Structure 1
Amino acid sequence: MGSHETAGERPTRSTRRSFLTASAAATAATVAAPLTGTAAAAHEPGPPPGPGQPVRPQPPGRELAALLREVDRDRIEATVRRLAAFGTRHTLSAQDDPQRGIGAARDWIRDRLSEYAAASGGRMTVELQSYVQQPASRIPTATRITNVVATLRGVSSPDRVYVVTGHYDSRATDVMDAVGDAPGADDDASGVAVLMELARVMATRPVEATVVFAAVAGEEQGLYGSAYLAGQLKAAGVDVQGMFSNDIVGSSTADDGTRDPRTVRLFAEGVPTAETPAEASVRQSVGGENDSPSRQLARFVADVAENGATGMRIRVVYRRDRYLRGSDHISFLRQGWPAGRFTEPNEDFAHQHQDVRVVDGVQYGDLPEFCDFDYITRVARVNGAALWSLAQAPGTPKGAVIVTSNLTNDTTLRWQRGDEPDLAGYEVLWRETTAAEWQRVIAVGDVTEVTVDLSKDNVFFGVRAVDRDGHRSPVAFPRPGS
């Protein structure tokens, strides 16, 4: 492998290895998989000289490619049209009318997810997660808010969890109008259709980690449903290692007619909201403002989902969300978990949050007729590639530290070994401080400490885990320590 063991190390697993520039390059012949997609990488300079190999895209494996082929455009369209047909799904609308209102939509979603769970061999369960929201902003009277949650339990690492949401409530121009038509096709039947279709195709496949598919309510009134879901997971001590909100993923056409049907935006926050001022100060003093867990998650998505199997480009946006608005991923960011928001590349504001009406012979409103179902299908495949790859890979390394207690021209990194039964080892990644994406990767084996002959003063480092099948985790950015 071109590396050497230090004295006293076991030949099959060491706690420390030292890599020189020349020898480390030789060890890395087996590594692959960058943390950025090809479109983004095209604008980056070539990888710098130094230890390791250039990072390369991670192509979809046979299982993932088969899963993505099963994502069904017609089912997605049928889901969007059925949800729009409930007339309104306003959080304050009727909960006991079998034909119209949020209650009818809730029950329909539950019934469909239960059908999918029936084919899972007992791995998937479905529940209605309810609570009564007392009067608050945009909630004038005590209101029951219900999330529909399907949980696909992992078979070997069930305590590690990934979450995907869409909100099934809708609104008209007046956010307090609970009786007028508010079909909410793009916002956000499209996102609900994504998670429901992924629940269907993943239910029949064993996954290593647990995936939660949640249609949440109360988003338009203030993220109430997702805040409750995230709070319940936090209270239960769940290890949420990634979350995606799909909100407004129904069309690629802007209000000026501009179309970009092969791009989806992924919003990724920088320094985590949950960090204390002292933690944020440390991060900024040593660098890493662009290395939050959410941005590492976004890089992972581009790595595994920007390929021919999805037909999409992932435009990662380094912001928490769009101006004046926010989606359900924010509820998870507030709990300190990595999370991002998928949304279409352009928005047609003439059709969002607008009453259904006809003006000069043109019908307006958030109707299915303005959705692009081929586009939603591709967005579903992006989500599917990300969730499947996360659930089958090892978890993000924990306890990653870059040793800063000594004045040296090399770099020592430490981390905790994961407990996945198929864990094969780890890779160290690095990049120039001016580069947005990881540039080189070094295979270091099944160790928990490594010294690289490269100055920590000059570059950024990260660590990721690899299993025996070559699945790679998101990168952990190390904190300074001793």
Structure 2
Amino acid sequence: MDKYQVLSKISRANLERDVKDLATRWPTRHTLSKHHPAIVAYLSGKFKALGYPPKRHVYEQAGKSLSNVIAQKPGGSGAPILLCAHFDSRQEDLHAPEAPAPGADDNATGVAVLFEVARVLKDTPLRVPLRFALFSGEEQNLWGSTAYAAECKQRGEKLTLVFNLDEVGYPDTEKHLFLDRDERGRPENNAASAKLITRLEWLARNVVKVPTRIDPAEASDYIPFEAQGYTITGLYEGEYRYPHYHKSTDTPDKVDFGYVKDMARLTVAFLLDYAR
């Protein structure tokens, strides 16, 4: 059987439903808003409904106990692949935690892709575990991912790689999927990331049939892992062209759901290729 056959199970309707639900259920998903506990409970419930026991990773910031949501698909004996996305949103004024911030593109799209990947790969054997992480505090200089990456390093935990999904719903004119390559200060990390990009490019061209461009990895939740020595990559919609970035107008009607589906298809193709 074609190992990529599962790509046909990726549902645009599911992606659209999850983005709309996340963007409309609360006025904001700001990490310091009063809605944070309810959002964490909701995300935990989504994992549970998909058949993954959720765990809350709690960390302290700004005098509060805040949470990331973690789940894992068992696999062989290798080090896990970490697939991550941030679930928080913000208005232009970061210090207005209750200001309307639907965050449809940034980053309900990444969360929706992560959940759809979890759904379609639920019963597909992989040679390494696949761990899912939904991070809070990304908009406050990567609070949640920094805390989690530090804990992984402190535990001596090996990760095969970290794959990040952040803003994956607003394409450029040619609908390129931007592939995030590590170009920071660790040569060994950069070389490993470049190999991942080469494979992603091949899969995009030959399996998913979508155009790609390469973008430097920066300013999102893979960066704390890179700083701890882990290999990173991810998908992104490109440069800051989105006119509704960090605004109350970042609503689901601005999202290109066919493009989001292509992001999900490439993510699944890569995971099948790399972990199977």
- Give the shorter-chain TM-score range: over 0.9
Give runs of aligned pairs for residues 64-463 of structure 1, distance below 5 A. Answer: 64=4, 66-85=5-24, 86-94=26-34, 101-117=35-51, 124-133=52-61, 141-154=62-75, 156-157=76-77, 159-253=78-172, 259-261=173-175, 263-270=176-183, 273=185, 275=186, 292-307=191-206, 309-317=207-215, 319-321=216-218, 326-345=219-238, 347-354=240-247, 356=248, 365-392=249-276
Does the aligned pair in 2 maintain the 1:106–1:148 contact within 8 Å? yes
TM (norm. structure 2) is 0.93
Shift >3 Å, 4+ stretches:
345-349
Cα RMSD of the aligned pairs, angstroms, is: 1.9
- 2:177 and 2:107 mapped to 1: Cα distance? 15
Q: Which runs of 5+ in 2 are unaligned?
A: none
Does the aligned pair in 2 maintain the 1:173–1:353 contact within 8 Å? yes
**Alignment identity in percent?**
31
Structure 1 residues 346 and 132: alpha-carbon distance in aligned structure 2, compared to 1, 3 A threshold: closer
Deviation of 1:350 (Å):
2.2
Structure 1 residues 70-92: Cα deviation after superposition (integer angstroms, max 9, x where no partner)? 11100000100011011100011
Query: As a proportion of its length, which structure holds more helix?
Result: 2
TM (norm. structure 1) is 0.54
Match of residue 286 from structure 1: none
Q: Which amino acid aligns with 1:339?
A: I
Does the aligned pair in 2 maintain the 1:267–1:320 contact within 8 Å? yes
Structure 1 residues 121-165: Cα deviation after superposition (integer angstroms, max 9, x where no partner)? xxx4321111222xxxxxxx31222111111111x32x3211111
Deviation of 1:265 (Å):
0.6
Deviation of 1:266 (Å):
1.3
Does the aligned pair in 1 maintain the 2:3–2:272 contact within 8 Å? no
Structure 1 residues 236-260: Cα deviation after superposition (integer angstroms, max 9, x where no partner)? 222212111111111115xxxxx22
Does the aligned pair in 1 maintain the 2:83–2:132 contact within 8 Å? yes
Deviation of 1:347 (Å):
4.1
- 1:83 and 1:340 mapped to 2: Cα distance? 25
- 1:188 and 1:291 mapped to 2: Cα distance? 26
Q: Which runs of 5+ in 1 are unaligned?
A: 1-60, 95-100, 118-123, 134-140, 254-258, 284-289, 357-364, 393-482
Structure 1 residues 305 and 349: alpha-carbon distance in aligned structure 2, compared to 1, 3 A threshold: closer
Does the aligned pair in 2 maintain the 1:90–1:169 contact within 8 Å? yes
- Structure having the higher Rg: 1
> How many residue pairs are counted as aligned between the two chains?
275
Give the 3-state SS of the residue equivalent to 2:90 in structure 1: coil
- 2:253 and 2:122 mapped to 1: Cα distance? 30
Structure 1 residues 213-253: Cα deviation after superposition (integer angstroms, max 9, x where no partner)? 11110000011111122122222222212111111111115
Structure 1 residues 90-124: Cα deviation after superposition (integer angstroms, max 9, x where no partner)? 01101xxxxxx23222211111111112xxxxxx4
Give the 3-state SS of the residue equivalent to 2:66 in structure 1: strand
Give the 3-state SS of the residue equivalent to 2:214 in structure 1: strand
Query: As a proportion of its length, which structure holds more strand?
Result: 1
